[in-house]
Amino acid sequence: MRFDRLRLNGFKSFVDPTDLVIREGLTGVVGPNGCGKSNLLEALRWVMGENRPTAMRGEGMEDVIFAGTTRRNARAHAEVSLSVDNRDRLAPAGFNEDDQFDITRRITRDAGSAYKIAGKDVRARDVQMLFADASTGAHSPALVRQGQISELISAKPKSRRRILEEAAGISGLYARRHEAELKLNGAEGNLTRVDDTLDQLSSQAATLARQARAAAKYREIGAALRLAEGLLLYRRWSDAEAARLAAAQALSEAVKAAGQAGAAADAAVLRRTETEAALPPLRE
């Protein structure tokens, strides 16, 4: 992977859009202290995915945005774009169609950073893995910052091993291995949570089974109770119907007896009338 151009806009001291053209061979930047030479290296590390403010010599990541001077106003955002030569087709599959593509990082105050590769929005992890596969990145020993030479001389075996891994071109494999280990650990955690969930569901299933048996028994008792209540109501209705029929028969007999008594009363009245009519002549 070869870098063609580094474009800065609003990054630290580069308030105006500035292009650093990187030609084949050796490209050098010479200048006095404070002219911004280190800012170029920090811009390169920053667009590669560096997220430590201390590596940018600041207290916060927003310190990379031009803070303003007495003559120039502060900027609200900063942007760094890195042009990559992709004629060897070493980029990831989604960005491996063009001979050249840009990797862009833009930070806005109170909004955070956003990454793009070939104009497509990507994650910071995608950018870091892109450079890791190319055996480079924001933490590559090839990017020598101020004071790093003495650190490399007195480096511990672990740091030397990282340098050798990058030289051998296998640092990307270790990065992917670390990512795979994180995914495996996450999968193990998910499996543990699944086991716990299964245990909870088993206990809930046992409780539901007991409740289902109780509900079935309740339905059986309810059916028997409804049958008994139906038989009781039928028995009461039968007794009431028999009493009604007996009362109707007694009423009929009483009505008949009342008719006979009425006829006898009429006959008695008639005899009384005849007797009273025959009484005066007898008195005379």
Over the chain (284 residues), the average pLDDT of each successive run of 10 is 87 89 83 84 89 84 88 90 84 75 91 88 86 74 67 72 66 72 90 92 92 94 95 95 94 92 91 88 86
Contact partners, residue 86, CB within 8 Å, separation at least 6: 1, 95, 96, 98, 99, 100, 101
What's the confidence (pLDDT) of residue 268?
92
For residue 133, what pLDDT is reported? 72
Which letter, b or e, does each residue of 157-178 get, where b requires 16 or more Cβ atoms within 10 Å of its Cβ?
A: eeeeebeebbeeeebbeebeee
The phi and psi torsions of 82 (rounded to 5 degrees) equal -120, 120
Residue 15 per-residue DSSP state: -
pLDDT at 141: 66
Beta bridge partners of 9: 79
Task: Give the pLDDT of residue 149.
Answer: 66
Give dist(CA 15, CA 94) in Å, integer.
33
Q: pTM score, two decimals?
A: 0.57
Domain borders along the chain are 2-138
- Which pLDDT score, from 0 to 100, does residue 145 have? 66
Measure the CA angle with vertex 138, ends 135 and 139; round to 5°.
75
pLDDT value at position 167? 61
Q: What is residue 91's three-state secondary structure?
A: coil
**pLDDT at position 105, please?**
94
Q: How many CA atoms lie within 13 A of 104 on its CB side?
A: 15
The reported pLDDT for the residue numbered 182 is 87
Class of domain 2-138: alpha beta
